[in-house]
Every structure is written in C-alpha cells, then in structure tokens.
Amino acid sequence: MSGQAAVSARGLAQATGLPASSIYHHFGDLERLYVCAHEHAQALAAEWCGARLDQLADVPGGAESLPALLAALIDDWCEGQRGLAFAWRECQLLVARDPRYGPAAQRWRTLWAGFWRHVCDRLGIPGTATITERLFDGESFLHMMRWRRSVDRAALDELCRGWGNWLGGTLAGPSPWRDMARGCAQRSAPLPEARDETAERIAEAAAAIVALGGVAGVTHRAVAAGAGLTLGVVSHKFRTSAELLGSAFEVIYRHNVPAGELEAELAAATDGDGRAMLDRLGERPGAEAFRLATSELMMAAMRDPALAPFAAQLRYLRGRTSRLFLQAMIGRDRPVGALDAAIFSSFAIGQGNAHRGLPDDERQAASLAETEALLSFLRGG
C-alpha cells in the first residue's frame, strides 16, 4: 500500500529474502514486475467481484434497491480490500504518465464495467450501469481517505441515497452528516498563509512537480531546481516535506476553484445549456494536469499520517465548481444543494479516473456522453 515510488529492487530483496539479481532474472526489470503485480491484483479483485455477485444471486429488483447496496459495496471494497484498492488507484495514476500501463488500466476498466453491468442487470436497471460505475469509482476513491469512521460511513450512505434520488429524477435532499463533516473541515482548515514572492514561487514549483511527476518527486532539491532557487532558500521557507506538500496543496486547490471570470460566466449561463457547460469545463487551462495533481495529493493523504489533516478537507470541502456547473446545466428553477454538488463531484472524479490515459478526443467524447446520460435521469427522462 506504499505505492510504486516506495518500491526498489533492494527493498524487495530485503522483504522477500531473495537476492536482487533474482528479481531481474525472473522479470527483466522493475517495470515488468510492476505490471505483473497489477495483473495479480486484478485477479484477486476479480475474485472479490465474483464473490459479491454470488451473494447477489437473489436480489430485490428496482432502482430503490441500489443505494444501500452501492454504499455497502464501496465500504466493503475500501475497508476490506484496501491493498487492492490502492493497486487500482496506482494504475490509474501511472497510465497518465507511462503508456506501458495502458493494457493494465484497460483490464481494470473491463473488470469494473463487467461487474456493474451484472449488478445493474440483476436489479433490473441496466441503463444505469455505466454512470453508477463512474460514481463508484469516484466515491470509493474519496472513501479511502479516513477521517472519522462512523461519520464517513454515514456521509457515504447519504450520498448513495442521493444518487438513488437522482436516478429517479429528483435532487438529492438533505445531508446532515455530510453538512456536519463539511463544517468541521472548514473550521479545521488552516487559513491561507500570506506568502512573499519567493515562497509563492516555491509553492508553484512544488505544485508543478506534483502535477508532472507525483508526490514522491516533491523534495527540497527538486523544488529548488524547479523554482530556480538555492536549496538553502527553499529549506528556509519550508523546513519539512509536509510543509512543501501543504504549499502545493494550496496552489492546486486554487487552480481547482473557479476564477472570478469563470464563476461569473456560469452564473450568467443559459439554463439547461448542458453541452456548452461541458465544453467549457473541458477547456479550463491545465484542467487535466491539476486533476491528476489533486489525485496524487489524495493518495498521499490516504497513506501519510502527516497529511491526515488534509483528508477531511479533500473529502468534504469539494463541489464548489461542480455545483456551479450542475446548476447551470439543470436550470435555476431547481436549486442545487451541497449533496448534489458532492454527487456530481464524485461522478466527475470517477470519469477522470476511468478515462485517464485515453486520447483527449476519446476522453472528452466519453465524458460528454456519460454526463448527458446522467442529466437525462436527473431531468426525469
């Protein structure tokens, strides 16, 4: 569960009691070993999916049966199969930077597509399979960030209930547990620091490294090189790696929150102009790079206790952009609530994860088709 960045031939040799030469003899190089490890994880995940489907041999049909089952499956996967869940997420991140992981990423996509097709077929709602798979992808990613176990579980139940409402053509409704969690996250979030020009330059360089190479690349030396500063200056401004990552988080968060110009454009948008809104979302400068950077930070918060304070913020202080886009797409006669925004955010995260590594035109076309399919349910037909 430590991720590819923590794997080395020396470390594997120590863990297995085998000489490093044996690893290269059997696998050729570490990259081939990583691919084989993903194949093994996928085989175990397929067994998990098969066992879950066996348990669903007798199911109550209808869309009203989906929310409780969806919440149970997300929690079961994240808590009971955490190692496999990390392997899936690692592959989704790796394929964005290394095309050699394309086949492995496609096998994960095929596995989950088949699983949710079977689940939704058994419930008698086959038309919801793909969009439910996307919500599962996004929300199970977020559910891996642990805050307060009971509250996280209650908030998950609320979101899945809201998803069921969406499929029935109504908005999500109240979410007292999620509202409470959001309030706690807001109160615990540190105020943005007033940084001088040098510190801001360092923070921007750290964020760029996360976007391009992942969290593991954020070292004082790498950031100094990226910012064009000396190592001493960077170490003086940010004494620890956690502080450097915190500065990167703030920069990435600012990039993900809509600028005033975009916010005003969304506020003035024509009601129900869904395609224009989706096109506008895809045009945001650097959107894919910063979505990838956000995913990297989420993975780090799942693993590193020093980044635990970010977990509640990443999980519950989200949806501002999603709320604006969703409101513009469904019309202002149906006010969008905080839970609706969270659902749309999870759905969008799932799309980003599932489509990562695909050519830009394929990714955009798939996202548009899936979002329009979702909106057709939410609009009641």
246 and 173 both lie in a single domain: no
Question: Which range of residues forms the domain containing residue 280?
Answer: 197-335
Q: Which amino acid is at 374?
A: L
Q: With bands split at pLDDT 50, 70 and 90, how would you rate the model's confidence at 9?
A: very low
DSSP state for residue 273 in the 8-state scheme: -
For Cα atoms 252, 317, 259, give the angle at the middle one, nearest 5 degrees.
50
pLDDT of residue 305: 75
Structure tokens at 305: 């206790």
160 and 206 both lie in a single domain: no
pLDDT of residue 378: 92
Examine residue 270 and state whether it is found in any structural domain, yes or no. Answer: yes
Q: Which amino acid is at 126?
A: P
pLDDT at 283 over 60: no
pLDDT of residue 256: 64
172 and 203 both lie in a single domain: no
203 and 263 both lie in a single domain: yes
Q: With bands split at pLDDT 50, 70 and 90, how would you rate the model's confidence at 304?
A: confident
- Percent of all residues in the chain with a pLDDT value above 70, rounded to a whole number: 81
Residue indicated by tokens 């915190």: 246
Examine residue 342 and state whether it is found in any structural domain, yes or no. Answer: no
Q: With bands split at pLDDT 50, 70 and 90, how would you rate the model's confidence at 310?
A: confident
CA torsion, points 12, 13, 14, 16, in degrees to nearest 10? 80
**What is the rounded average pLDDT of the residues 203-214?**
88
pLDDT at 278 over 80: no
236 and 102 both lie in a single domain: no
203 and 320 both lie in a single domain: yes
pLDDT at 173 over 50: yes
Structure tokens at 220: 């004082």
Residue indicated by tokens 């993903």: 38
pLDDT of residue 282: 56
**What is the rounded average pLDDT of the residues 207-224?**
88
Question: Cβ distance 277 to 328 under 8 Å?
Answer: yes
The CATH number of residue 279's host domain is: 1.10.357.10
Q: With bands split at pLDDT 50, 70 and 90, how would you rate the model's confidence at 332?
A: confident
- Percent of all residues in the chain with a pLDDT value above 90, rounded to a whole number: 52
Q: In this predicted structure, which of 183-192, 208-217, 224-233, 327-336 has the lowest mean pLDDT?
A: 183-192
Q: With bands split at pLDDT 50, 70 and 90, how would you rate the model's confidence at 195?
A: confident
Instruction: Judge residue 219's burial from the number of C-beta atoms within 10 Å of its C-beta, 0-12 exposed, 13-18 middle, 19 or more buried.
Output: middle
Question: Cβ distance 344 to 162 under 8 Å?
Answer: no
Q: With bands split at pLDDT 50, 70 and 90, how would you rate the model's confidence at 12?
A: very low
Phi, psi (rounded to 5 degrees) for 58: -120, 115
Average pLDDT over the chain, rounded to an integer? 85
Q: In this predicted structure, which of 39-48, 76-85, 144-153, 305-314 has the lowest mean pLDDT?
A: 305-314
Examine residue 162 and state whether it is found in any structural domain, yes or no. Answer: yes
- Own/partner pairs for 98-106, CB < 8 Å, 24+ apart? 98/31, 99/357, 100/31, 100/35, 101/34, 101/35, 101/38, 101/357, 102/357, 104/35, 104/38, 104/39, 104/42, 105/356, 105/357
Examine residue 355 and state whether it is found in any structural domain, yes or no. Answer: no
Residues 6+ apart with CB under 8 A from 298: 141, 142, 144, 145, 314
Question: Domain ends where: 335, 359, 374?
Answer: 335
168 and 34 both lie in a single domain: yes
Structure tokens at 317: 């202080």
Structure tokens at 374: 């979702």
Rounded (10°) angle between helices 241-256 and 287-303: 140
176 and 206 both lie in a single domain: no
Residue with more model confidence, 250 or 159:
159
Rounded (10°) angle between helices 338-355 and 82-94: 70
Element (H, E) at 347: helix 338-355
169 and 282 both lie in a single domain: no
321 and 273 both lie in a single domain: yes
Question: Cβ distance 261 to 268 under 8 Å?
Answer: no
* Spatial separation of the C-alpha atoms in residues 321 and 100, rounded to whole Å: 33
146 and 207 both lie in a single domain: no
Question: Cβ distance 2 to 303 under 8 Å?
Answer: yes
Question: Domain ends where: 148, 183, 218?
Answer: 183
pLDDT one-digit tens code per residue, 103-154: 999 999 999 999 999 999 999 999 999 999 999 999 999 999 999 999 999 9
Number of domain units in the chain: 2
User: How far is the first Cα of the chain from the last one, in angstroms, to the nearest whole number?
Assistant: 42
pLDDT at 7 over 70: no
Residue with more model confidence, 291 or 19:
291
Examine residue 202 and state whether it is found in any structural domain, yes or no. Answer: yes
